[in-house]
Amino acid sequence: MTARPLLPEYTPREQDAPTALDGLLVVDFTRVVAGPACTQTLADFGAEVIKIENPDGGDDTRHYEHAEIGGESAAFLSLNRNKRGIVLDLARPEGREVAKALIGKADVVVENFSGGVMKKFGLDYESVAASNPRLVYCSISAYGRKGPWALRPGFDPITQAESGFMSLNGFPDGPPVRTGYPVIDMATGMSACNAILMALIARDRIGRGQHVEVALFDIAVAMTGFFGMTYLITGQNQGRFGNSPNGSPTVGVYEAMDGPFYMACANDRLVRRLMTEVLERPDLVTDPEFATRKARTANREKLRAVLAEIFARDLRDNWIGKMKRVNVPVGYLRTIEEAFNAPELRERHRLSQIPHPTAGTVPNIEAPIGLGMTPVVDPVAAPLLGQHTRDVLRKTLGYDEGRIAELTGAGVFGAA
């Protein structure tokens, strides 16, 4: 077993570098994955994101079982960096008044409650837009905020299953498989962030905000991509191909003498390079059974067996080295442990450690987007439950200690 990588301290950004979203105030009512992923990106690039949680336990991901450090879960830490966290009991009128006051000052509101919840609290777009016409209000849901399924709850794996997306994952002789990580949630979060930024650009042009919506089901359907388009053109249902799209024998996982690798020779030019310069088997290029893409696909099992026998004769590093020298696309098939100790992560400075109020330090996976003039902000760990409540009330809303004491007495921030 490889030891966990030693994480360097985060290297601070240039002191005078501006941020892309400086001055943008985001009120974040989201929880679990898609919504927090969206608002974390906004926070990474300088927006002030105020995350509102229920005082009774907060975001569900605080209690996910993957791992914890300093009393905080890996899931919550990975999705809520650079946010300020407050607690509000929205079931209490006083709590809703605080929420409305924050929305009144906000540029952006993001919510992913079940259908009807924000309207019940008087915090839906129609209820708040009149008093803040420049507000960009983003709703993230499973099946949209309108129509017969607006009240239906849903989660990433359900929309993977119902959209056809899951039917594309796995091997032809096995059942459909959901992706290991909630990829529809993450893609929905990225799409929501894009929608918000587009609405902000439109606001600068037309002078007012708008309501934007993103639904997990819609994103899952869109992510069937060219498989979905192929069905629409041909009427033929698309199946599973495992690690080799369309059954290509020169794309997929192969086993060297000491471990697996992934090779992707997806066109005739790359196949010729593989056969002649790496395998030193020009006969595989001239053989009519393998000479063209259609021929290779028709005889894929035969060619796959030939390649498997050749690759098993030598070490993985040797094969990968040969392929890299002649620009044949190839990579190690790594575990998380191997990937997080790999030179690519070290050289690209993808990992660091940052301070945390209860754990001392926590690991940090760097934001995956780079802007040359407006880099990401220096990362601050995800907040403890309610960590910034008093600070936000004082600095953002201008409440004095007397008002905060009244709200505390009314139970707005939960039980003492």
Q: Active-site positions?
A: 185
Rg of the chain, C-alpha, whole Å: 26
Q: Pick the closest to residue 188 from 46, 19, 32 (CA basis).
A: 32
Strands in 330-332's sheet, in edge-to-edge order, are 251-255, 260-264, 330-332
Relative to beta strand 260-264, strand 251-255 is antiparallel
Q: How many CA atoms lie within 13 A of 54 on its CB side?
A: 13
Q: Is 288 helix (H, G, I), strand (E, B) or coil?
A: coil
Contact 72, 384 (CB under 8 A): yes
Q: Which residues of 86-119 are buried (b: 16+ CB within 10 A; e: fewer)?
A: bbbbbeeebbbebbbbbbeebbbbbbbbebeebe
Q: Token pair of 364, please?
A: 């940090």
Q: Pick the closest to residue 95 from 407, 416, 415 (CA basis).
A: 407
Q: How many CA atoms lie within 13 A of 167 on its CB side?
A: 10
**Cβ atoms < 10 Å from Cβ of 6:** 9
Q: Pick the closest to residue 102 from 132, 65, 75, 126 (CA basis).
A: 132
Burial class (CB in 10 A: 0-12, 13-18, 19+), 43: buried
Q: How many CA atoms lie within 13 A of 43 on its CB side?
A: 28
Chain center to CA of 221? 17
Containing 380, the helix (H) or strand (E) segment is none
Task: Please state, in angstroms and rounded to a whole number, the distance separating the CA atoms of residues 167 and 169.
Answer: 6
